[in-house]
Amino acid sequence: MNVKQAQIRQLLFLIVLTVIYLSFELGFNARLLDVVGSRATPHDIEELEFFGRTLSGIAAALVVLQLLLTRRLATGGRPSYLKIAVACAVTALLVFSAIKMLVNVLVDTRDGDFRRVATNSGLLQRSLVQGDLHLDGLVDDDVYARPEGKAFLAVFQVLLSNIDNLDEKVEPKKRQVIRTDLQRQMKTFTFDDREVRMTAPGIRGYHQVYTSVMQSVGERWRQYAGVPVANDINLAREQDRAWGDYRRSLSRRGWTPQNVPARYQSRVVQDVRKRVPVPADWQPHDRATFNEAVAQQYWKTMRSKTVRVEGDAIPPGLSYEDFVARPGVQRLLRQTLMVPANMPVAPNYTDPASFKRLYDGMLDRAVDEAMPRFSASSADFARGGQHYQLGQDAARAAIVPPVALLCSLLGAVGHFAKLLYLIAKLIVWLRTPAGQQPRRTATRAAGLALVLTLVCVWTAFSFMQNGVTRSELFQQMSRTDASDDDESLGQALQRRVLANIAHVVVVGQAYTYPFNEAVRTHVLGGLRFGYHGDPA
């Protein structure tokens, strides 16, 4: 095979690999944007972050593959294919780990003020997606359903600190925003170490939880009151224990319930009746009648006992309503249903307005408990502060989406430029006569296509505008003027870089998302990249 044929085959091979990679990268980019503009959980973000790091590692490995294959062709067989495969695998793993380390460093080096802002901005971001909050200066609230709006949400938390007097602007709405956010996030309640899940949102789901909890309280009252309850675990244990004691007493004489000699049966019955009130004509092998007698004794004992609930000694003989009204039971119900300490929980609610008061009380208590977290000072979010871990999680949620989007955008643009370079180089080789090498000028022109594509695309996106970037809010969030006399040159440069990246992401995604989503849907068969929710 001559040099020209080898070059053409290698270029075609690299072009095919690049197209396959781009298909997955573009599809991932679209899915990532959907997640940013949705009610995604931290687990969803973690899954997509894994796919993002994997694709970035593959992207780097493809670059190494191209360089080594070019070198192998130029040197006549070195390095070997095995060494090339090892180098590509090591490169992919290094990049995969490096991006994770980069994110960890970015998160760990944030100060308490960043964590505080991230905690509050995460709340605001969720409220914006749901339409519960309107920010003055943005085009319209429906923008979050469009690609540029989703991209804006991806960089929202990073740029939010640039808004002047943010705390003062948000404070009047903060309680309502927290209330709505908690109302949507509440999913599970715990009663006696048993998880009770809401299967519907809002007050309807809370009523389902209340009904389930009161059913458990009713079972506890029936046990306390000696009312037979089907499938009572304690009763079943008591029956098994009593029958086991009976069998052991017989085994000492070498008998079983089935082979007690007839002349000794009456004596066995008398011995059993001392412990269990079986009938006088009971047969030693009759387990069913034995269990019934144990149950009668069990319920009689329960009716005469004083039980304790949450430290409250409840005397025997109370009705269900009086049982529910006991301080211990009320304390347990308030803890489970998360209502204020001074709010009684009724055994039933026939009036919707009365139950709504219980629901509102639960939300008021939840908001009261949450407010200090969202109003704490920066010192509370600093390392060692009481809200450090909360701020750390919020910082990660603020940093991961823009980093993932940026890496995805760079990977897509970079490999698209590389694809143009490979195609240009292929054309050069196809036009080169057999036995000759292409001119160096032509080769350099093909390489220049890669660099120019990157520079031109980034520059174009930097100057292009859309509804989001023209909005007053985005202009304020991405301002690059030095508002602080003490701001260093490095801080000013960092502000400009972040503003430019945010601008490019918001503009670029508006143009690329429709095509990327079409690739994910039609070419990749709707691949979800670990996220199984629906976009907001």
* Cis peptide upstream of residue 79 (ω within 30 degrees of 0): yes
How buried is 391 (Cβ within 10 angstroms: 0-12 exposed, 13-18 middle, 19+ buried)? buried
- Whether 149 shows a pLDDT value over 60: the answer reads yes
Identify the pLDDT of residue 365.
92
Q: What is the number of structural domains in the chain?
A: 3
Query: Which of 340, 364, 381 is the last residue before a domain boundary?
Result: 381
Q: Does residue 14 sit in the same domain as residue 108?
A: yes
In a domain, 371, yes or no: yes
Q: Does residue 221 sit in the same domain as residue 232?
A: no
Q: What is the mean predicted confidence (pLDDT) over 285-306? A: 85
Q: Does residue 104 sit in the same domain as residue 58?
A: yes
DSSP line for 191-246: ETTEEEE-SSSHHHHHHHHHHHHHHHHHHHHHHHHT---TT-HHHHHHHHHHHHHH
Stated pTM of the model: 0.67
Identify the pLDDT of residue 165.
62
Identify the pLDDT of residue 224.
79
Report the chain's mean pLDDT, rounded to a whole number: 84
In a domain, 55, yes or no: yes
- Cα 61 from chain centroid (whole Å): 30
Q: Does residue 279 sit in the same domain as residue 297?
A: yes
H/E segment holding residue 190: strand 188-191
Show the domain range for 240.
226-305
Cβ-based neighbours of 220, under 8 Å, separated by 6 or more? 309
Q: Does residue 204 sit in the same domain as residue 279?
A: no
The residues pairing with 182 across neighbouring beta strands, listed in sequence order, are: none
Q: Does residue 376 sit in the same domain as residue 391?
A: no
Do residues 289 and 279 lie in contact, with contact meaning Cβ atoms separated by under 8 Å?
A: yes
Q: How confident is the model at residue 475 (pLDDT cuts 50, 70, 90)?
A: confident
451 versus 28: the higher-pLDDT residue is: 28
Q: Rounded to whole angstroms, how far apart are CA atoms 120 and 122?
A: 5
In a domain, 425, yes or no: yes
The residues pairing with 191 across neighbouring beta strands, listed in sequence order, are: 194
Structure tokens at 162: 């640039």
Identify the pLDDT of residue 360.
93
Query: Which of 305, 340, 357 is the last residue before a domain boundary?
Result: 305
Long-range contacts from 165-171, C-beta under 8 angstroms, 24+ separation: 166/117, 166/120, 167/120, 170/120, 170/124
H/E segment holding residue 313: strand 312-314
In a domain, 15, yes or no: yes
Q: Does residue 358 sit in the same domain as residue 272?
A: no
Q: What is the mean predicted confidence (pLDDT) over 45-68? A: 88
- Whether 483 shows a pLDDT value over 60: the answer reads no
Query: Which of 366, 381, 396 is the last residue before a domain boundary?
Result: 381
Q: How confident is the model at residue 85 (pLDDT cuts 50, 70, 90)?
A: very high
Q: Does residue 433 sit in the same domain as residue 501?
A: yes
Identify the pLDDT of residue 481.
60
In a domain, 178, yes or no: no
Q: How confident is the model at residue 83 (pLDDT cuts 50, 70, 90)?
A: very high
Nearest in space to 357 (alpha carbons), one of 347, 367, 344: 344
Cβ-based neighbours of 425, under 8 Å, separated by 6 or more? 11, 443, 446
In a domain, 158, yes or no: no
Q: How confident is the model at residue 38 (pLDDT cuts 50, 70, 90)?
A: low
Q: Does residue 255 sit in the same domain as residue 283?
A: yes
In a domain, 167, yes or no: no
- Whether 536 shows a pLDDT value over 50: the answer reads no
- Whether 283 shows a pLDDT value over 90: the answer reads yes
Q: Rounded to whole angstroms, how far apart are CA atoms 141 and 127?
A: 11
Rounded to 5 degrees, what angle do the CA atoms 278, 283, 287 make?
70
Q: Rounded to whole angstroms, how far apart are CA atoms 517 and 206?
A: 37
Identify the pLDDT of residue 141.
62
Q: Does residue 397 sit in the same domain as residue 375?
A: no
Phi, psi of 432, deg, nearest 5:
-85, 130
Residue with tokens 């022109």: 445
Q: Does residue 358 sit in the same domain as residue 409?
A: no
Identify the pLDDT of residue 535.
46
Identify the pLDDT of residue 145.
75
Question: What does DSSP assign to residue 385?
Answer: S
Q: Which of 176-190, 230-244, 308-322, 522-536 has the lowest mean pLDDT?
A: 522-536
Q: Which of 138-152, 236-250, 257-271, 520-534 has the lowest mean pLDDT?
A: 138-152
Helix, strand, coil shares of the chain, percent, nearest 5, are 70, 5, 25
Identify the pLDDT of residue 336.
92
484 versus 18: the higher-pLDDT residue is: 18
Q: How do residues 360-385 score in pLDDT, each as one tens digit?
A: 999 999 999 988 888 888 999 999 89
- Whether 169 shows a pLDDT value over 70: the answer reads no
In a domain, 7, yes or no: yes
Q: Does residue 220 sit in the same domain as residue 234?
A: no
